[in-house]
Amino acid sequence: MAVKVIVEKCKGCSICVNSCPFSAIEMENKIAVIGDACTGCGVCVDECPFDAIEKIEEAVKKDLSAYKGVWVFAEQREGKLMPVVIELLGEAKKLATEIGTDVSAVLCGDKVDDLTQELFAYGADKVYFADHPELKNYRTDAYTKVIQEAINQYKPEIILLGATHIGRDLGPCLAVRCDTGLTADCTKLEIDPEDKKIRQTRPAFGGNLMATIICPNHRPQMSTVRPGVMDKAEYVAGREGVAIRLDVSFGDDEIRTKIIKIVKQAGELASLTDAEFIVSGGMGLGNQEGFELLKKLADKLGGTIGSSRACVDSGWIDHSYQVGQTGTTVKPKIYFACGISGAIQHLAGMQSSDYIIAINKNENAPIFEVADYGIVGDLYEVIPAILEAL
Amino acid sequence: MKILVCVKQVPDTNEVKIDPVKGTLIREGVPSILNPDDANALEAALAIKDNDPNVKVSVLTMGPPQATEMLRECLSMGADDAYLLSDRAFGGADTWSTSNTLAAGIRKIGDLDIIFAGRQAIDGDTAQVGPQTAQRLNIPVVTYVQNVELAGDKVIVQRQMEDGYELIEVKTPCLLTAVKELNEPRYMSIYNIVDACSKEITVWGHEDIKLSPENCGLKASPTQVFRSFTPPTKGKGEMLTGTTAEVSKSLISKLKGLHVI
Render pLDDT for B247-256 as a digit per residue (tens, 0 to 9): 999 999 999 9
Contacts of A374 in chain B (CB under 8 A): 236-240
Structure confidence at residue B21 (pLDDT): 65
Angle (nearest 5°) at CA A38 between A35 and A40: 140
Same domain, A40 and A140: no
Look at residue A276 and tell me if it is in a domain: yes
Structure confidence at residue A120 (pLDDT): 98
Distance CA B206, CA B86 (A): 8
Look at residue A224 and tell me if it is in a domain: yes
Stretch A283-287: mean pLDDT, rounded? 95
Select from B145, B226, B238, B253 the residue whose CB has the most chain A CBs within 10 Å, as the one to mutate to test that interface: B226
**Does residue A279 or residue B27 have the better pLDDT?**
A279
Candidates A46, A206, A368; nearest CB to B14:
A206
Structure confidence at residue A42 (pLDDT): 80
Distance CA B154, CA B173 (A): 9
A169 touches chain B (CB under 8 A): yes
Stretch A216-229: mean pLDDT, rounded? 94
Please state the φ and ψ torsions of residue B86, each to the nearest 5 degrees: -140, 125
Same domain, A105 and A232: yes
> How confident is the model over A246-263, as pLDDT tens digits?
999 999 889 999 999 999
Under an 8 A CB cutoff, do A41 and B258 touch? no
**Does residue A24 or residue A94 have the better pLDDT?**
A94
Under an 8 A CB cutoff, do A218 and B222 touch? yes
Task: Give the class (CATH, top level) of B2-220.
Answer: alpha beta
Distance of CA A84 to the CA centre of its chain: 8
Distance CA A49, CA A317 (A): 59
Candidates B100, B227, B252; nearest CB to A386:
B252
Distance CA B137, CA B107 (A): 8
Angle (nearest 5°) at CA B7 between B163 and A256: 55
Same domain, A341 and A373: yes
The ipTM of this complex is: 0.91
Candidates B156, B163, B233; nearest CB to A264:
B163
B97 touches chain A (CB under 8 A): no
Candidates A176, A217, A351; nearest CB to B99:
A176
Q: Among residues 262-291 of chain A, which lie with CB inside 8 Å of chain B?
A: 262-270, 277
Same domain, A96 and A156: yes
Under an 8 A CB cutoff, do A320 and B211 touch? no
- Identify the three-state secondary structure at position B184: coil
Tell me whether strands A373-376 and B238-240 are parallel, antiparallel or unpaired.
parallel
Same domain, A57 and A83: no
Look at residue A150 and tell me if it is in a domain: yes
Under an 8 A CB cutoff, do A263 and B167 touch? yes
Contacts of A334 in chain B (CB under 8 A): 255, 260-261
Structure confidence at residue B162 (pLDDT): 86
Structure confidence at residue A13 (pLDDT): 93
Distance CA B83, CA A4 (A): 32
- Per-residue pLDDT band at A377 (split at 50, 70, 90): very high
Q: A17, A39, A61 — which closes off a domain?
A: A61
Same domain, A227 and A82: yes
**CATH code for the domain of A184:** 3.40.50.620
B223 touches chain A (CB under 8 A): yes
Look at residue A34 and tell me if it is in a domain: yes
Q: Does residue A206 have a pLDDT over 80?
A: no
* Count of structural domains, chain A: 3
Stretch B110-125: mean pLDDT, rounded? 94
The full length of chain A comes to 390
Q: A245, A260, A281 — which closes off a domain?
A: A245
- Identify the three-state secondary structure at position B115: strand
> How confident is the model over B1-57, as pLDDT tens digits?
999 999 999 988 777 776 666 666 676 778 899 999 999 999 999 999 999 999 999
B127 touches chain A (CB under 8 A): yes
- Per-residue pLDDT band at A266 (split at 50, 70, 90): low
Contacts of B19 in chain A (CB under 8 A): none
Q: Does residue B261 have a pLDDT over 90?
A: no
**Does residue A3 or residue B66 have the better pLDDT?**
B66
Look at residue A257 and tell me if it is in a domain: no
Under an 8 A CB cutoff, do A374 and B237 touch? yes
Q: Does residue A209 have a pLDDT over 60?
A: yes
Stretch A5-25: mean pLDDT, rounded? 89
**CATH code for the domain of A353:** 3.40.50.1220
Q: Could you tell me which of A247, A229, A84, A90 has the C-alpha nearest to residue A167?
A: A84
Same domain, A122 and A187: yes
A321 touches chain B (CB under 8 A): no
Candidates A261, A266, A373; nearest CB to B163:
A266
Q: Does residue A323 have a pLDDT over 60?
A: yes
Same domain, A296 and A219: no
A356 touches chain B (CB under 8 A): yes
Structure confidence at residue A178 (pLDDT): 96
> How confident is the model over A292-309, as pLDDT tens digits?
999 999 999 989 999 999
- Per-residue pLDDT band at A271 (split at 50, 70, 90): confident
Minimal Cα distance from B127: which residue of A? Answer: A168
Q: Does residue A38 have a pLDDT over 90?
A: no
Same domain, A53 and A160: no
First-last CA distance in chain B: 61
Look at residue A218 and tell me if it is in a domain: yes
CB-based contact A343:A366 (threshold 8 Å): yes
Distance of CA A385 to the CA centre of its chain: 41
Structure confidence at residue A316 (pLDDT): 95
Candidates A21, A355, A388; nearest CB to B260:
A355
> How confident is the model over A97-155, as pLDDT tens digits?
999 999 999 999 999 989 999 999 999 999 999 999 999 999 999 999 999 999 999 99
Structural domain that includes position A279 = 269-389
Distance of CA A349 to the CA centre of its chain: 15
3-state secondary structure chain A: CEEEECCCCCCCCCHHHHHCCCCCEEEECCEEEECCCCCCCCHHHHHCCCCCEEEECHHHHCCHHHCCCEEEECCEECCEECHHHHHHHHHHHHHHHHHCCCEEEEEEECCCHHHHHHHHHCCCCEEEEEECHHHCCCCHHHHHHHHHHHHHHHCCCEEEEECCCCHHHHHHHHHHHCCCCEEEEECEEEECCCCCCEEEEEEEHHHCEEEEEECCCCCCEEEEECCCCCCCCCCCCCCCCEEEECCCCCCCCCCCEEEEEEEECCCCHHHHHHCCEEEEECHHHCCCCHHHHHHHHHHHHCCEEEECHHHHHCCCCCHHHEECCCCECCCCCEEEEECCCCCHHHHHHHCCCCEEEEEECCCCCHHHHCCCEEEECCHHHHHHHHHHHC
Same domain, A312 and A295: yes
Q: A128: distance to nearest CA of chain B, Å?
A: 24
Contacts of B25 in chain A (CB under 8 A): 205, 208-209
Same domain, A23 and A122: no
- Per-residue pLDDT band at A58 (split at 50, 70, 90): low
Q: B225: distance to nearest CA of chain A, Å?
A: 5
Q: Among residues 86-115 of chain A, which lie with CB inside 8 Å of chain B?
A: none
Q: Among residues 28-47 of chain A, which lie with CB inside 8 Å of chain B?
A: 39, 41-43, 45-47
Same domain, A166 and A229: yes
Structure confidence at residue A263 (pLDDT): 94
- Per-residue pLDDT band at A344 (split at 50, 70, 90): confident
Under an 8 A CB cutoff, do A257 and B156 touch? no
Look at residue A255 and tell me if it is in a domain: no
Structure confidence at residue A300 (pLDDT): 92
Structure confidence at residue A358 (pLDDT): 96
Structure confidence at residue A204 (pLDDT): 82
Minimal Cα distance from A386: which residue of B? Answer: B248
Share of chain A above pLDDT 70, in %: 97
**CATH code for the domain of A27:** 3.30.70.20
Look over chain A and give the mean of its residue pLDDT values, rounded to a whole number. Answer: 92
Look at residue A264 and tell me if it is in a domain: no
CB-based contact A372:A355 (threshold 8 Å): yes
